[in-house]
Structure 1
Amino acid sequence: MSMQQPATNKRPIITDVNPKSPISEAYRTLRTNIDFSAVDEQLQVIMLTSAGPGEGKSTTATNMAVTYAQSEKKVLIMDADLRKPTMHHTFSISNRRGLTNMLTGQASLDEVISESHIPNLHVMPSGPIPPNPSEMLSSKRLVALLDELRQKYDLIVIDTPPTLAVTDAQIIASRCDGVVLVLNSGEVKREMAMKAKANLDHVKARILGVVLNNIDRKNGEAYYYYYYGESKA
């Protein structure tokens, strides 16, 4: 496993740099609500997606993973957005090797996971962007990889592409314990949100809830995230 030194990254993680902010508290509320949504069962692999691009899913995935790591959980965040990956930028790590190398058998697990500057949080970047993301994610290798990761981590957070853009998110959702749908309250239309939910329902994904982004712009905070239970998803 590669060791990542602390770095000043281009995408500050609010739960890391300002853990006492209202936004960070909202992420901790998200963590708590997810935990309470499955009291009698373990949610170990959680996927985040959105209806369309630019709704904040990668930011939500990152901060959610950090809040779990801050609660002494051993966490891995996996960048499964094989079209527009961002995690290597967020954590200032190399994307030369990652998930795609694992799925093609070109690298070992230790070679594609980096320690982040945040205790308890490891990162698996996407790796080189492949010509056939959907086919790659449909492979049995992904199932085997997740099974292996379940033995090593308390929580695996997976960032995926928007569900209305490509089928990748639906493919991954069928292999996860739960899905969090991220929506920009000021941008997403109701019919797009319902279509995104229908796509996930089609593969029998368990939708844990919806994060509404950018609810309150009046008091100077750029983003707010709220969690709603399954009945409102």
Structure 2
Amino acid sequence: MELRDYLRILHRNWILILAMTILGGAGAFGYSLLQTPTYEASSQLYVSVRSDSSGISELAQGTSFARQAVVSFVDVVDSAVVLDRVIDDLDLDTTAQKLAGSISASSPQNSVIITIRATAADADMAAAIANSVGTNFADVVVNRLEKPEGEAASLVRVETIAPALVPTSPSSPHTPLNVALGLIVGLAAGLGIAVLRSVLDTRIHSLHDIEAATEAPVLGGIALDPDAKKRPLIVHADPRNPRAESFRSLRTNLQFVDVDGASRSFVVSSAGPGEGKSTTTANLAIALAETGARVVLVDGDLRLPRVADYMGVEGGVGLTDVLIGRAELVDVLQQWGTGKLFVLPSGRTPPNPSELLGSQAMQRTLAALSDAFDYVLVDAPPLLLVTDAAVISRFTSGVLMVAASGTTKKPQLTAAVEKLQAIGSRLFGVIVTMLPSKGPDSYGYGAYSYSAPEEATSSRGGGERRSRRDRTDEK
């Protein structure tokens, strides 16, 4: 994955990432509110060793002994012999073992100072426990552990140099710190889920995904239109619509495809159903006819024909009647509109579509159409479901593959391309449909509205009049 892939993931999943971050912070804040506040109080003790002599060497020996003794004294702080006295002094309803969990003692290296910390749910009690532990610890060390035999006084002295004060604010929970950690954890979880979704999602979302799935060029992108079922022929219904301009851009790119070929006959197919191949073929045919080219739209989907319904022509007689010799090609071709666009419907649904489409009659029909028209567009069934499109592609210049953003999966597109390569058919390019108009996967034509000037409208009207004169000459 490249940097732009990660940026696309952030752009596509920013709501998820933001939601997970907020959820992490809110969870940490709620956890902090549910915790019982605890207070911490600390006291400091100074340990020294008296010497019978006031010489420097004796003082140094005493200080060195005190430093060594402090290491052992720290472990005595939370011992039962000390904490039992604390429980008796403060009349606590607990045991020495439980109380030891709220007591800690530490001493810096090479130091004679011991710091005692006590935590409790009550601030006054925390200070009382810390002071009581210090007092009883000093008494145990001086009068019991380090007391010499007989009536002699102990050489070890433990004095409190900083008694514990009542804390004014709880030491736990640390709400700001917990919220910060929660935000970080939520952000990390959101990023992880976003990357995982992107890795596991094999659907095609953008032109970049097409380039990653196949080496075939991207001929164009068609934006998603929620009203596509209501007005499938957008180039005819709303010529100034940005989506209609996408088909004109596709038309321009198609004019540079196979420029040296003897004919320009194309099979339009897709990897699976519901990817918009039929509407794409119909709109492309209308866009090509706008330039004055002679175009024929052939419904080669003999299993689920749609072209006749989209174009609004009679579909009872068509391609199947020509292939079985029941009708002549010139009799079933239907002119659409006022231009040079003709439609060849599928006709009746046969029991053997693949055999008819792969017959010599189909080859002769496509050859005749290629001689009579500038462009031949054949709407064929999906490649991965049946072999019809692959069979027809052998009689045409090549295939135009339609892939729907958010629907077509990369393995499906790759499998369809490999199927064409296996039979030697040529794939001219991929047309991406249903592209979102906003977001990281949006297509350029969704960003502005297209409107033709009056001169262009008048020119187009003159083109239609010239087409009528041309048809009169042809007749």
Same fold per superposition (TM over 0.5) = yes
Separation (CA, whole Å) in 2 of partners of 1:85 and 1:174: 21
| 31-40 vs 155-164, which moves further | 31-40
AA in 1 matched with 2:391: I
CA 1:62 to 1:108, structure 2 compared with 1: closer, same or farther past 3 Å?
Answer: same
1:13-162 alignment, distance < 5 Å: 13-162=233-382
**From 186, 206, 231, the counterpart of 2:426:** 206
Secondary structure at 1:209 match in 2: strand
How many residue pairs are counted as aligned between the two chains? Answer: 214
CA 1:11 to 1:129, structure 2 compared with 1: closer, same or farther past 3 Å?
Answer: farther
Higher RCO, 1 vs 2 (CA within 8 Å, ≥6 residues apart): 1
Deviations 1:4-47 (A, max 9, x none): xxxxx964411112222211111111111122232333441011
Gaps of 5+ in 1: 1-8, 226-233
Separation (CA, whole Å) in 2 of partners of 1:112 and 1:11: 25
Show the counterpart of 2:155.
none
Separation (CA, whole Å) in 2 of partners of 1:174 and 1:132: 18
AA in 2 matched with 1:16: H
RMSD of equivalent CA atoms: 1.9
Show the counterpart of 2:191.
none
Separation (CA, whole Å) in 1 of partners of 2:374 and 2:408: 33
AA in 2 matched with 1:129: T
Gaps of 5+ in 2: 1-228, 446-475
Show the counterpart of 2:29.
none
1:183 is the counterpart of 2:412: no
Q: CA deviation at 1:212?
A: 0.9
Q: CA deviation at 1:190?
A: 0.7
The answer as to whether partners of 1:23 and 1:224 remain within 8 angstroms in 2 is no
Separation (CA, whole Å) in 2 of partners of 1:40 and 1:106: 35
Per residue, is there more helix in 1 or in 2? 2
The answer as to whether partners of 2:263 and 2:374 remain within 8 angstroms in 1 is no
TM-score (norm 2): 0.43
The answer as to whether partners of 1:143 and 1:175 remain within 8 angstroms in 2 is yes
Separation (CA, whole Å) in 2 of partners of 1:131 and 1:145: 20
The answer as to whether partners of 1:102 and 1:109 remain within 8 angstroms in 2 is yes
Q: CA deviation at 1:91?
A: 1.6
The answer as to whether partners of 1:11 and 1:89 remain within 8 angstroms in 2 is no
Separation (CA, whole Å) in 2 of partners of 1:163 and 1:217: 28
The answer as to whether partners of 1:10 and 1:90 remain within 8 angstroms in 2 is no
Show the counterpart of 1:4.
none
AA in 1 matched with 2:321: N
Q: CA deviation at 1:158?
A: 0.4
Separation (CA, whole Å) in 1 of partners of 2:301 and 2:256: 28
| 209-218 vs 167-176, which moves further | 209-218
Q: CA deviation at 1:121?
A: 0.7
The answer as to whether partners of 2:272 and 2:383 remain within 8 angstroms in 1 is yes
CA 1:215 to 1:19, structure 2 compared with 1: closer, same or farther past 3 Å?
Answer: same
Deviations 1:142-173 (A, max 9, x none): 11111111221111110000000000000001
Q: CA deviation at 1:105?
A: 0.3
Separation (CA, whole Å) in 1 of partners of 2:260 and 2:383: 29
Show the counterpart of 1:170.
390
Deviations 1:117-142 (A, max 9, x none): 25111100000000000011111001
Separation (CA, whole Å) in 1 of partners of 2:299 and 2:332: 11
AA in 2 matched with 1:145: T
